[in-house]
Amino acid sequence: MIKLLPFGYAARNLYRDKTRLAQTLGGSALVVFLVMGAHALNEGMRKTLSASGSPDNIILLGAGSEESMQRSEVSEQAAGIAEASIAGVYTRLGTRAVSPEIVHMAFMQLPGQIEARGLVRGVTPRAMLVHSDVAIMQGTFPGPGEVMVGRLAWKRFGVKPEDLSPGARIGFDDAELTVSGIFAAPGTVLESEMWMHINDLRTLAQRDTVSAVVLRLDGGEPEDVELFTRQRLDLELTAIGEKDYYEKLAAFFAPLRTMTWITAALIAAAAVFGGLNTLYAAFAARVRETATLQAIGFRRGAVYFSFVQESLMTSLLGTLLGAMVAVLLLADRVVYLSAGTFRLQFGPETLLAGMLAGTLLGLLGSLPPAVRCLKPSLPQALRD
């Protein structure tokens, strides 16, 4: 059995050079912060887009606009024709769940002379039948001259929550709108949107078409909707499941998620190499010390294990620091994309990714410097 060096030896060596300790801690914390941030960003985007959309909903878009509801144009008569032609549509109290909608990106004038760009959706009360995840938390559904905001809209626009509370005034071009209420749609991209009556948005956006017709099936088959679009070629429609639509959006943003990991990896690699240089300098100055330890009976494996202990303690302290900073700065942070808004997801998987990164950094980072330090023969090391 190999006789190991006391644990206190590795712990005391941490404080031999406080500058080196600070550099190693900072590098480890930076790596863990970047890994957790990239993981939280990717998980937030993936979970939000996958949770958005209902498997019962079908979207009728303009032909050739399957990837963007904002670019789509659909005839105003399409909603009425679809309602009368498609069987198996969800009906509640005699009202069929067929919702014509306009999706428009607009500049809004907010309190405090703040002008920001946001997603506005023109809807009718039937939208509440289609978007079953939406619930009004405060106020009422918007009427003429009113707008209902998502509960994350204030974060998206960078204003205070009270600036978008019921009764607040918002400018849209030359019109002034009153906030009628606040709605929630947990885990979906809808929570950063503003909803207003479709007639108001049609006038303000100067549109004579709608962006899409969303309908909710109850017993009907998606194939029936597809058959309707093929029979009515004059409407120039294409049908896509709402789940499929957001899955295509997720695929569209996949390169962005990849670039996030690549950027984090490049910056982390720079931090790792900086930490290796620091460890090389620290271990190179202890060649004679390690030789002395071997001379009094400790084997090279025991000395190397002590180096690993020292590196692991430093990297784990940096891991704790980086995880705390990541949670404080990034938890519940809202990220905006053209498709909507999502929160950074900090779950057990994110914490585990950060811990694994810090542990691997401590294990692998100590290997090259320790091998170089222990490489010289014992007589040569003692002379040097």
Both 128 and 219 in one domain: the answer is yes
Both 46 and 96 in one domain: the answer is no
- Using alpha carbons only, give the angle 114, 339, 215 rounded to the nearest 5 degrees: 115
Both 80 and 25 in one domain: the answer is no
Examine the pLDDT at 365 and tell me if it is beyond 80. no
pLDDT at 377: 63
Which residue, among 41, 48, 44, 68, has the nearest Cα to 258 in the 3D structure? 41
Percentage of the chain beyond pLDDT 70 is 85
With respect to residue 58, please indicate whether it lies within any of the assigned structural domains.
Answer: no
pLDDT at 379: 65
With respect to residue 230, please indicate whether it lies within any of the assigned structural domains.
Answer: yes
Examine the pLDDT at 180 and tell me if it is beyond 60. yes
With respect to residue 1, please indicate whether it lies within any of the assigned structural domains.
Answer: no
Both 221 and 265 in one domain: the answer is no
Both 15 and 85 in one domain: the answer is no
With respect to residue 195, please indicate whether it lies within any of the assigned structural domains.
Answer: yes
Both 109 and 225 in one domain: the answer is yes
Residue-range definition of the domain harbouring residue 278: 7-50+253-383
Both 116 and 229 in one domain: the answer is yes
Q: What is the mean pLDDT of residues 355-382?
A: 72
Both 176 and 98 in one domain: the answer is yes
Domain final position from 182, 207, 235: 235
Both 226 and 131 in one domain: the answer is yes
Give the model confidence (pLDDT) of 195-211 as tens digits: 999 999 999 888 889 99
With respect to residue 379, please indicate whether it lies within any of the assigned structural domains.
Answer: yes
Examine the pLDDT at 136 and tell me if it is beyond 90. yes
Q: Which residue has the higher pLDDT, 380 or 130?
A: 130
Q: What is the mean pLDDT of residues 282-293?
A: 67
- The domain total for the chain is 2
Rounded CA-CA distance 261/276 in Å is: 22
Give the model confidence (pLDDT) of 54-87 as tens digits: 888 999 998 877 777 888 888 888 888 988 888 8
pLDDT at 259: 82
Both 91 and 132 in one domain: the answer is yes
